[in-house]
Structures are given as structure tokens and as C-alpha cells.
Amino acid sequence: MSTTDPARRAAELRALLQHHAHRYHVLDAPEIPDAEYDRLFQELQSIEVAYPELLAPDSPTQRVLGQVLPGLSPVRHAVSMLSIRTETDTTAAGAEAFDARVRRELALPADAPPVEYAAELKFDGLAINLRYEQGVLVQAATRGDGETGEDVTHNIRTIGQIPLRLLGDAPAMLEVRGEVYMRRDDFERLNERQRQQGLKTYINPRNTAAGAVRQLDNRSLADKKLSFFAYGLGEVRGWVQPSTHSATLDAMAAFGMPVCADRAVVQGAAGLVAFHREMGAKRDALPFDIDGVVYKVNAVALQQRLGFVTREPRWAVAHKYPAQEQTTRLNGIEIQVGRTGKLTPVAKLEPVFVGGTTVSNATLHNLFELRRKGVRVGDTVIVRRAGDVIPEVVARVPGPRPAYVPNFRMPRACPVCGSAVLREKGGIDHRCSGGLFCAAQRKQALLHFAGRRAMDIEGLGDKLVDQLVDGGLIRTLPELYKLGVAKLSALERMADRSAANLVAALEKSKHTTLARFLYALGIRHVGEATAKDLVRHFGGIDRIMDASVAQLLEVNDVGPVVAQSIRSFFDQPHHREVVEQLRAAGITWPEHEGEADTAPKPLAGRTLVLTGTLPTLGRDDAKALIEAAGGKVAGSVSKKTDWVVAGAEAGSKLDKARELGIPVLDEAGLHALLGAAAASDGDTAP
């Protein structure tokens, strides 16, 4: 509750900020986004400036926020790890105000040359102090309250970017300060794994990194890939620091420390404004989160002249960008059907400015994550948008609901085509069973059907499929074969020659194999190898379409999930109709393929992995030879792999094979294996 009494409001704000700081810094479980915390902090600052008598020693404005986590050993910092002032005016005026303060403190006349600054990024992670003695990492500690942090050496040693020994002629003692963070792609991969396993997802990269670093058991870091950037120094002995901050960063890089390349030495306010604008434009393309940039007076001598005010250096400031997390109201939940048939609940939000744009829609991923987050219509929620990641609802802001709101339920029928909505046993995603019939999946179905390993229709790519579907020329797969030169030539950027080439490619694609045709239908879980196994086992398309789940389970490598997927696909009358229409359009395959394959399979039950480039065999050719001999080609090396076939520029798969002691063959060795296997099979045949 707010109040007009400054004393009561200041006390209220102090209590709120202390509560949220504890949630953020100690529990790594924030209840409000950073932008809301900053707003409360600034409100308290403004009251204390207007009413100095209300400034309390325990005010959050008077200390570096943080606390030692119980269970971790405290570390007293030899040189305090202080915070820097934050400039929340995200316009050019924020940079200009900092430059004006610096010039005023240095008593520079109006006609004095511009001040030189080191400009760098403000990483959104956890501040860490690394202590090196005689070049060897002996301790790593968090910022804590600025005076005392937590010993997290056991966890920091697991971060590959942090050297355990410095390069070159290292000082007797050097403390390197920097930020542990998590890249966006690593964060997204982690959350996707969590979703697939039905586990709790993480709110943002910053808190995930902070929570991981401060675990007592570093085994929890196994699934969390962390990174590090150095940006400053603590205690130093036996080394003369360079005369500028930028040169200090160069020296740290020479010692083997990772230093961000997105930094610059600039002149005056104009240089600061230009850097802020340039990094703001680049922000979405960065592989990690930043919430601003940092300006530091470059000359160390000038830094010493400027000194500190309270607990903040006068010679540095953080200049923020629009927050990547904000709170807003969830007005409704709608279902979006994706190109592969996945149903995704989408939050319809009260529009909110976050991450540099106005957001009114955000993903809720799936029903189970929605339930875990406890989100319901009418709630106040935290919305996150970082980089080019789709905006998402990451949490509900705690608090009572004014009235009962029922849990959201997934529809039983696809909102696009009306087909049944299915969820695989043990799976988390709901999917439309309409497949080839569903308009939402039409483009994906066409692109898959035309793919090189499916019907191989050269010239039918993304842009053309967009034109065909959006223009209403194609609604089903069989309609592809009704396209003529006249219709195609009428499309934008489609010349007569290109149209004629596509028509020829369509005609050529009619002569295929049954395995390719089956794969081209896009049946979930049916890849090229499974399609070939189905054809070998059943011999014809009609027998495959009519096979029961029990009969499908008799096929090599077909388990319950795959069998049910095939049965569900052909249980849809419109899918059977598409197959019949495609056959009527003239699609054929060799007659011999309509018979079960009874040829000898000398490599049956054996698994091979291909890596690198072979001298004469393409990957598809090598795969075909192995599969013709009954072998299976896997994508990764494991203890179940029998041989690895390696060519030029073989990568980690070759290393893994050597590590596991798996035999490695070159192309000649593969031919020899196939020949020996065939001969052996012939010798033992009755």
C-alpha cells in the first residue's frame, strides 16, 4: 500500500526492497522483474534526497546488496567490490549527464579537450572475484555485500573459459573481477531439456547462472554451461597496472582471461552517446543478455583524482537500456497451431513495453509448464523478451486472486481444422492429428514432401511454398501435380523458364521409391530408416496403411510410440484420401519394391556411424550401402556402436570412438567390411 507520508513510505520501501533483495541475491528466486525493483529503489532515493533526515543507515541505498548464502564459507575481500551508479535515463541525456558530472568534478574549463572514456557492456550475470597467486587460481568469491562474499572456487573451476593458470609472466598476486553469465542459446537448450523432462524451467539466464555458481555441490553444474568475462581488478601485488583501463583489459586478455570484444575507447559525451546507440542496435544480436553499457574514465590517474562518493566511484556509471522483463496482466489464453501440428498456449497480454518493443502476445510453451507456473487468466505475470527469443511468460507475480478462475484446459479438437488433438503417452506436447489436412501444417507438409530425401522436387522452396499457399493455389499435396506453367508464371518473380523447370521437376518426382514416398508423407517419428524398414517388412503401401499396432511392432526398430503414430496417421480418412489422390496423380515406384526384401543382410543388427568426408562416397551413398547390407547408421557414437567410418575433417565423433575403443574404418575399410560380411554370409548360407 502506498502512502503520502514520506516517513511511512520510506519505511515501506525499505522493507519491500530488503525483501526483494533477499529473494534475488540469496534465494535466487525473484518475485518481481529488475525494472520494478529499480523503480522502487529510485522512489526511495528521491524521498531520501528530498528529506535527508529520513536517510537510515540500513537503507538499501547505502549498501551493496547481497548476503552470504548459508553453507558457503565467507571470504573477506581485500579490496571492496563496490557497485556503480546506474543511469536509468535510457536516452542520450544519460550519457551527457555523466560526462558533465565528470568534467565538473575535475574542474575542467568549457574549452578543455573531451575526457577519454572506456566504454563496455553491462553483463547480466553474477559478479565474481578470482584470486591468482603466482599465476595459479587459488580462490573465487562472489560479491556478497561488497565486503564479504562467498567462496565458490569449487564451482568456478568447472567453467572452461576461466584459466586455472594465467599465461605469461603473471604477478605474484592478481585479483581479476568479472561476470559469470549464461549464453541465451545455452539457456534455451537447458529450458527445452527441462520442458521435455517435465521439470521446472528457469526464469532467466542471470538467475540460473547465479544459482548454479552458489550451489554447495558442483555436480549440479553438469547441465548448465556457464561463461565468463573479465572487466576489472581487485588486489594486485608485484605488477604495475597499465595507465588506462582499456590497457588493463588488454593485459588481462594477454594473461588468458576472456575479455569481451564489444568495447571501445571514446572521446567525450558524443563518444558515449554513439557507443550506447551502437550497442543498443546490436543488443538483440548478442549471444548473451546485457541490461546496459558501462562508462569508465579511461585514465587511472583521473580515476584516483575523482575518487568515490559514499560507496560508488565517481569515475564510472552504468547506462541502462529498456528492461527485458516487465509485469503486465494476462487477459486471456489462446491456442496457436504450429507448422508441425504442435498446439502452443499463447498469452494475450495487456500491451507492455519490454526489451525495446511493445509486447501483447507471449508463449506459455505447453499445458504442463503453464500449470507448473500456476498461471491463470487475470493474473499479473512477468513477461520476458531478450534478443530474438520469442516473448514468454516466465512467472506469476504472487498474490491472492480476487475470484476463482478455473485452470486452462487444452482443446480436444484442433482450432484450425477440427481434427482430434492427441498427446503421446509420457509426452508433454499436444498435437493436431490433421497432418496433411490441417491448414496450419500445410506449408511444412509441402516443404517436407518436396525435400531432397523425400520426393526431391527441385525448385520448390520456402518462398515459393509461401506464395502457393498464401495465394490459395495449393491446399493439399495432390494439388501440386495440377500446377501448370501458366499458373506458376503468374506468380511474382516467377519467370516462364523457372515455371517450366518446376513443372518438369514435379513430373520427374512421380517416379520414386515407396520408402521415399512413405517418408514424404511426414508421419511423425517415421524417418528415412523407419520408412525403409516398413517397406522391407510389409512390401506395399496398402499393407502398411492397414497394419495394426501389434503388426507394426514386429518391424525392426519400431516401438510403441512409433507404431501408435503410424496407426493414428492412417486412422485419419483424409490421410488415406491424400495417398489415393497422389497415386491417381501418377506417382509410382518400382514393382519389385512392392515385395518384401528377402536379400541377405550380413550387417543385420550392427550399428555404424559416419563422420567426415569420404574420398569417393557421399554420405547418402555410404548410408545406402550399409543399409542394403542390413546395418543401421546412427548419428552419434555410443557403446552400442560397432564401427565408425571416418573421412577427412572428422570431428568429435572420431575422438569419442577412440575414447571408447570402437574400431575406426576409412572408405577402403568400409568396402572391405561390406565385402567380408557378404562373403561370410555366403559361406554360412545353407
Active-site positions?
122
> How far is residue 286's CA from residue 453's CA, in Å, rounded to a whole number?
35
**β-pairing verdict for 342-354 and 325-337:** antiparallel
Grid cell 509486447 in the structure block, residue: 359
- The dihedrals phi and psi of 116, each to the nearest 5 degrees, come to -90, 130
> How far is residue 234's CA from residue 217's CA, in Å, rounded to a whole number?
27
E strands, 430-588, are 430-432
Q: From the centroid of its chain, how far is CA 170? A: 37
Amino acid in the structure at residue 433:
S
- 169 CB-near residues (< 8 Å, 6+ apart): none
Please list the alpha-helical segments (H only) found in 322-378.
367-373
Q: Decide: helix, strand or coil at residue 673.
A: helix
> How far is residue 464's CA from residue 468's CA, in Å, rounded to a whole number?
6
Cell triple for 194: 527441462
> What count of other Cβ atoms lies within 10 Å of the Cβ of residue 602?
19
Cell triple for 363: 508463449
Tell me the Ramachandran region of residue 46: left when phi exceeds 0, alpha when psi lies from -120 to 50, beta otherwise. Answer: alpha
Amino acid in the structure at residue 48:
E
Cβ burial of 80 (10 Å; 0-12, 13-18, 19+) is middle
Cell triple for 625: 550401402
> How far is residue 231's CA from residue 179's CA, in Å, rounded to a whole number?
8
Q: Decide: helix, strand or coil at residue 173.
A: strand
- The dihedrals phi and psi of 384, each to the nearest 5 degrees, come to -120, 135
The answer to whether the beta carbons of residues 149 and 141 sit under 8 Å apart is yes
Cell triple for 50: 528530498
> What count of other Cβ atoms lies within 10 Å of the Cβ of residue 595?
12
Grid cell 576489472 in the structure block, residue: 232
> How far is residue 677's CA from residue 673's CA, in Å, rounded to a whole number?
6
What is the Cβ-side half-sphere exposure of residue 572, based on CA atoms within 13 angstroms?
A: 23
The answer to whether the beta carbons of residues 342 and 410 sit under 8 Å apart is no
- The dihedrals phi and psi of 297, each to the nearest 5 degrees, come to -60, 130
Nearest to 186 by CA among 204, 172, 210, 200: 204
> How far is residue 480's CA from residue 20's CA, in Å, rounded to a whole number?
59
Grid cell 578543455 in the structure block, residue: 112
| Dihedral sign, Cα of residue 121, residue 125, residue 127, residue 128 | negative
Kindly list the strands in the beta sheet with 632-634, ordered across the sheet, starting from the edge strand earlier in the chain: 632-634, 607-611, 643-646, 664-665
